[in-house]
Structure 1
């Protein structure tokens, strides 16, 4: 399959201290890394694209390690994650789906075997397109306090023949989470759901 050609990368870290209520003792940290790569399938329909997922795995691992580093380096500090892709206008939505395996498994590996499915979103768009990347708890998808999202985007990306692939990690629940449901302290960790 084609080589992964990286044009640029963006790393963003947010620290959220409060959402109108009392100031948190420790801020929620959300971090995203966006990699803008050439889309080797742009401008044409290609029936066999699955092999490119294997080529994307080293990029996914490098991005996951970078996120872990900017969040302090301790995998146990990461409680939430998500992934996404923005495909340039000469591509198709299915090209963004190529990021599911390399992005998700990279984060699971970097975090030492997180159990929950990594939520994902993708869309086709031009330069400056923004993407809300969904986030859930790393070990149990039903932990309601960790349902979140982080908006990402780069002003000049993706160009028509590019894709922007995204990984997000967070250090905790939404600030002031109080809508009930399964708590992180109640996770059984058997199936990635509860």
Structure 2
């Protein structure tokens, strides 16, 4: 497969000071980077699509590098997630092509991240929105880091496009207080606890 044809990138960083309680000493940053690419499989069913994952790897690393930098550097990132919105001439499985390159790109950029990268995908038209789930980078059961970020682009995906998304956060929800495993209690042996 040829390398992905990119139409545009979009990066957004939220800086959350409070959610109704006292302002935090350090605001939470929640960021997303999106790439709008041509879907090489749009318009017809293709048996063999798996090879395109390899072609997406450099794009994943570029996106993860840009997003980590926008949040202050890889050492600031504590949460992550990924997703894809496939244009209407494609199929859901085309969004699944992002699982490996998106997840491994964030792990490569962030270093020793051990938790599975949560993800979601859908088929939609221009302006479609997607809630990308987020968990702690080293232990999926850290409840304070269960989060999500809504992403989307007004003019994407067009029918023959895919919007690829990576999301990262710098910490727990701003007023997390529902118990469970704390980040300070991670043993880091299996990516869960």
Instruction: Give me the TM-score of the superposition, normalised by structure 2.
Output: 0.99
3-state DSSP class of the match of 2:103?
helix
Q: Whole-Å Cα distance in 1 between the matches of residues 20 and 3 of structure 2?
A: 47
Cα distance in 2, alignment partners of residues 185 and 35 from structure 1: 34
- For 2:60 and 2:89, the matched residues in 1 are separated by 23
Q: Distance in 2 between matches of 1:159 and 1:180?
A: 42
SS at match of 1:94: helix
Q: Distance in 2 between matches of 1:22 and 1:7?
A: 41
* 1:34-75 Cα distance to aligned partner (Å, 9 max, x none): 0000000000000000000000000000000001111112x2
Unaligned regions of 5+ residues in structure 2, if any? none
- Backbone CA RMSD of aligned residues: 0.5
- In 2, Cα distance between the equivalents of 1:182 and 1:83? 23
Aligned length: 193
Q: Return the alpha-carbon distance in structure 2 between the equivalents of residues 147 and 112 of structure 1.
A: 21
Deviation at 1:159, TM superposition (A): 0.1
Q: 1-side partners of 2:60 and 2:112: how far apart?
A: 15
Question: Which residue of structure 2 aligns with residue 146 of structure 1?
Answer: 145
Give distance in 2, aligned partners of 1:69 and 1:148: 20
Question: Is structure 2 residue 75 aligned with structure 1 residue 102?
Answer: no
Match of 1:193 in 2: 192
Give the alignment of 1:79-90 within 5 angstroms: 79-90=78-89
**3-state SS, counterpart of residue 167 of structure 1:** strand
Q: CA deviation at 1:3?
A: 2.5
1:50 is matched with 50
C-alpha distance in 2, partners of 1:66/1:158? 21
Q: Match for residue 37 of structure 1?
A: 37
CA distance in 2, matches of 1:102, 1:21: 38
SS at match of 2:83: strand
Counterparts of 1:65 and 1:2, CA distance in 2: 22
What residue number does 1:19 align with? 19
